[in-house]
Amino acid sequence: MEAEHAKDTWKDWFEAYGPKLLLCARQWTRSLADAEDVVQEAFVRYWRHQRQLPGDPQALLVTSIRRAAIDHARRESRRTVREEKADGGLEEREAFFAPQLGEAAERRLEIEAALQRLPGEQREVLVLKIWNELTFEQIAETLGIPPNTAASRYRYALAALRKELKPVPHE
């Protein structure tokens, strides 16, 4: 697998993993623009300095994205607090998923709202497991928690979503 990744260009690798990594970054950032900045910063750092490290490349990159998001949040925290106070909480949240039309749009909004109501720890594990396809061991390493904790948070998140979201009837 490492030899395979060594042949890949950064463009190929980013094209294959970029959308998953962006969704991952959205869990730790306040906006899509911030998530894009974090993914770019983390990807450049990874590609230049970390891709030769042992371990799963995707898990290493997710860890790098998480750290870049934390750094970004620290840098932006004062500005964000000032803006929120000035805005009075009127700023609209950006969507996690691509816009849809009709019933699909309603369902997307319902899912996004349910995801937002999950505790952050459960939401982050859910995104890493489903959209980034990481194992519980990789999630545990990324978040600095035991694998069993990652699995528990995942199960709790799924249970909460099942309880809250009605099944969509198949036609």
Read off the amino acid at residue 48: R
Closest CA to 159 of 134, 125, 109: 125
Taking the CA of residue 95 as centre, how many other CA atoms within 13 Å lie in the half-sphere pointing to its CB? 11
pLDDT value of position 98: 53
Question: What per-residue confidence (pLDDT) applies to 81?
Answer: 65
Q: How far is 106 from 85, CA to CA, in rounded Å?
A: 30
Residue-range domains of the chain with CATH? 1-92 (1.10.1740), 95-171 (1.10.10.10)
In this predicted model, what pLDDT tens digit does every residue of 121-153 receive, in sequence order? 999 899 889 888 889 999 998 888 999 999 999
> What's this model's pTM, rounded to 2 decimal places?
0.55
DSSP helix/strand/coil, 55: coil
Give 75's pLDDT tier (boundaries 50, 70, 90): confident
Phi-psi region of 31 (alpha: psi -120 to 50; beta: other; left: phi over 0): beta
Res 159 pLDDT > 80? yes
For 78-124, the pLDDT digits (tens) are 666 666 666 554 445 555 555 555 567 777 778 888 888 889 899 98
**Average of pLDDT values for 149-169?**
88
